[in-house]
């Protein structure tokens, strides 16, 4: 496609969505570097622009189409630029993208991410190309070039797809059914990362608790965590996301007994109303959810628990919303991703009666956010005076009052800002927390 005697062409990648998409973009970039591209942070310098899309909520989809509108101007000024779109929105919008954005050159679905080298080689001027690939019988990633965003913490897909079919969710239709990577695949990747002095791994899946259920192997998710805990040099293990219906006592014990697994559990509740949970098809009720939280806190010392919750689901009444407020007051999450229900086409929820007006949804959202901010502040204030282990990640740009300000995270995934020398980046240090607010802890480095 490109004349090898010229300077290396540059690629600009824009990623929307979750950490799974972030990891997919790392594989996209790794493959492009392999065939001679350079990464560019300046979109106007790029010869190839790739948008890795998301469609979990309508607002994100709108942002992507808005971004594509801006790219139209760039393409008009420089028609030689190649523009491609990949990811979940492509699977959903495959019939519409070329119609809404005719200047796009190629599209590819999430299953095609690992074949990007072949895709790029097949691109021809003035020809629209679509790449849609059936999932392979086995899910492998080893051998696919990857360019990670940093050299401290690595995202690792242990499975992909989802079998849960929550009534509001489009993921099973865009990512497909669950597929687990082989244990040997995952262990080989983590051992490779340990040799490169990575300190932390983050295991990814739409529902990590389902790991291994589709496989002939006898290793389930708790057993996988135990195996990974034995790999030398890796200091921290995290995972997202768990589903309450599959979170059991065995997993809690594994987290408790293995020193590298961080004391941070992200467990989406989605609603505090049993009626809403039932029509969401979540397969648990608030009694079961509260029992899980109780077991986690009884067994894992100083654990932080975060959650996802939506407001304004079809049929949600003021009483249902009060149930959500009450369960937040009772359980006191460390933080929460709060969002308005988004109507996704072709989901069961999109056809339900009782759609809640946007103004009411916004009022409920802000009331919940206000409550959660008070709870988060209270929890963080209780950490003042404590000494915590911090993985130093980068120089801090938050309220800079000192040129040597650094930022890192606790084992419970809280951001800590403190003064220290830049050579501490990548190290585990002890920091005494002297001040806390809703989002950030501020500390003093202990020598």
* CATH number of the CATH domain containing 285: 3.80.30.20
Residue 99 and residue 420: Cα distance in Å, rounded? 53
Beta 236-240 vs 200-204: how paired, if at all? parallel
144 belongs to a structural domain: no
* Same domain? 299 vs 175: yes
Q: How far is CA 372 from the centre of its chain?
A: 21
Residues 368 and 366: their CA atoms lie apart, in Å, by 5
- The pLDDT, as a whole number, for residue 5 is 40
Same domain, 38 and 174: no
Residue 295 CA: distances (Å) to CA of 132, 206, 272, 289, 301: 44, 23, 19, 10, 11
Q: Which of 325, 347, 381 is the last residue of a domain?
A: 381
pLDDT at residue 57, as a whole number: 85
Q: Does 323 share its domain with 418? A: no
CA proximity to 252, closest of 298, 288, 206? 298
Flag whether 139 is in a domain.
no
Q: What is the DSSP letter of 189?
A: H
pLDDT at 126: 79
CB 426 within 8 A of CB 151: yes
Q: Of 96, 131, 166, at which residue does a domain stop?
A: 131
How many whole angstroms separate alpha carbon 8 and alpha carbon 347? Answer: 44
Nearest Cα to Cα of residue 340 among 373, 316, 323, 319 = 316
Query: What is the rounded distance in angstroms from the CA atom of residue 185 to the CA atom of residue 362?
Result: 44
User: Residue 78's CB: how many other CB atoms inside 10 A?
Assistant: 11
Among 381, 403, 420, the domain boundary falls at 381
CA distance 337 to 331: 15
Q: Answer yes or no: is 145 within a domain.
A: no
Q: How many CB atoms lie within 10 A of CB 222?
A: 21
List of E strands, 205-316: 236-240, 264-266, 304-311
Supply the CATH number for residue 108's domain: 3.40.50.12160
As for how many domains the chain has, the answer is: 3
Supply the pLDDT for residue 133.
81
CA angle (311 as vertex; 306, 315 as ends), nearest 5? 135
Nearest to 35 by CA among 48, 45, 23: 48
Same domain, 294 and 426: no
> Global pTM?
0.94
Q: What is the dihedral of CA 293, 294, 300, 306, to 10 degrees?
A: 20
Q: Are 169 and 275 within one domain? A: yes
pLDDT at 3: 46
Task: Specify the pairing of strand 179-180 against strand 159-160.
Answer: antiparallel
Q: What is the pLDDT along the chain (447 residues), one digit of tens a residue?
A: 444 445 889 999 999 999 999 999 999 999 999 999 999 999 999 999 999 999 888 889 999 999 999 999 999 999 999 999 999 999 999 889 999 999 999 999 998 999 999 999 998 877 899 998 877 678 889 889 999 999 999 999 999 999 999 999 988 888 889 999 999 999 999 999 999 999 999 999 999 999 999 988 899 999 999 999 999 999 999 999 999 999 999 999 999 999 999 999 999 999 999 999 999 999 999 999 999 999 999 999 999 999 999 999 999 999 999 999 999 999 999 999 999 999 888 899 999 999 999 999 999 999 999 999 999 999 999 999 999 999 999 998 876 566 789 999 999 999 999 999 999 999 999 999 999 999 999 999 998
Q: Is 68 in the same domain as 17?
A: yes
- 3-class DSSP state of 342: coil
275 and 337 in a single domain? The answer is yes
- CA-based Rg of the chain, rounded to a whole angstrom? 23
Answer yes or no: are the C-beta atoms of 278 and 239 closer than 8 Å: no
Q: Rounded to whole angstroms, how far apart are CA atoms 28 and 145? A: 8
Q: d(Cα 383, Cα 441) in Å, to the nearest integer?
A: 8
Cβ count within 10 A of residue 345: 12
Backbone conformation region of residue 87, classed left if phi is above 0, alpha if psi is from -120 to 50, else beta: left
Cα(441)–Cα(125) distance, rounded to whole angstroms? Answer: 52
The whole-number pLDDT of residue 430 equals: 98
Pair (42, 177) in one structural domain: no
Residue 3 lies in a domain: no
The Cα 254–Cα 261 span in angstroms is 9
Please tell me whether residues 47 and 194 are part of one structural domain: no
- Is residue 263 a part of any domain in this protein? yes
CATH of the domain at 422: 2.40.50.140
Q: Residue 191 in 3-state DSSP?
A: helix
Same domain, 360 and 396: no
Whether residue 271 sits in one domain with residue 191: yes
pLDDT of the residue at 403: 72
Neighbours of 186 (CB within 10 A): 24
Domain that holds residue 428: 387-445
Say whether the peptide bond before residue 241 is cis (omega within 30 degrees of 0): yes
Same domain, 272 and 369: yes
């Amino acid at each position: 496609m490109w004349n090898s005697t010229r300077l290396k062409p540059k690629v600009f990648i824009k990623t929307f969505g979750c950490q799974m998409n972030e990891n997919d973009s790392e594989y996209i970039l790794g493959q492009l570097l392999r065939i001679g591209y350079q990464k560019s942070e300046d979109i106007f310098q790029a010869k190839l622009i790739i948008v890795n899309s998301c469609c979990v909520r309508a607002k994100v989809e709108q942002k992507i189409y808005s971004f594509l509108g801006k790219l139209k101007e760039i393409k008009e000024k420089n028609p030689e630029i190649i523009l491609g779109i990949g990811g979940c929105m492509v699977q959903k919008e495959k019939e519409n993208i070329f119609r809404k954005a005719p200047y796009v050159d190629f599209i590819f679905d999430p299953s095609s991410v690992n074949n990007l080298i072949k895709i790029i080689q097949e691109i021809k001027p003035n020809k629209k190309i679509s790449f849609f690939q059936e999932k392979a019988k086995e899910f492998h990633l080893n051998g696919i070039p990857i360019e990670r965003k940093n050299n401290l913490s690595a995202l690792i897909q242990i499975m992909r797809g989802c079998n849960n079919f929550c009534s509001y969710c489009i993921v099973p239709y865009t990512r497909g059914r669950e597929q687990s990577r082989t244990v040997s695949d995952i262990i080989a990747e983590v051992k490779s990362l340990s040799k490169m002095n990575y300190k932390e791994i983050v295991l990814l899946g739409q529902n990590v608790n389902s790991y291994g259920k589709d496989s002939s192997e006898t290793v389930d998710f708790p057993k996988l965590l135990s195996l990974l805990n034995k790999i030398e040099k890796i200091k921290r293990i995290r995972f997202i996301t768990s589903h309450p219906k599959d979170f059991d006592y065995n997993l809690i014990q594994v987290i408790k007994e293995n020193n590298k697994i961080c004391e941070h559990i992200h467990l989406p509740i989605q609603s505090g109303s049993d009626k809403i949970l039932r029509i969401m098809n979540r397969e648990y009720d608030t009694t079961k959810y509260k029992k899980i939280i109780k077991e986690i806190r009884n067994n894992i010392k100083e654990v932080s628990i975060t959650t996802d919750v939506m407001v304004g689901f079809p049929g949600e009444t003021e009483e249902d919303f009060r149930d959500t407020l009450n369960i937040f007051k009772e359980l006191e999450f460390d933080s929460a991703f709060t969002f308005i229900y988004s109507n996704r086409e072709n989901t069961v929820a999109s056809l339900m009666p009782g759609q809640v007006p946007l103004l009411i949804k916004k009022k409920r959202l802000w009331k919940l956010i206000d409550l959660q901010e008070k709870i988060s502040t209270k929890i963080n204030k209780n950490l003042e005076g404590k000494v915590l282990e911090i993985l130093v990640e980068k120089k801090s740009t938050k309220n800079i009052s000192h040129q040597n300000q650094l930022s890192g995270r606790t084992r419970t995934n809280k951001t800590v800002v403190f003064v220290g020398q830049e050579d501490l980046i990548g190290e585990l240090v002890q920091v005494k927390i002297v001040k806390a607010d809703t989002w950030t802890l501020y500390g003093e480095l202990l020598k």
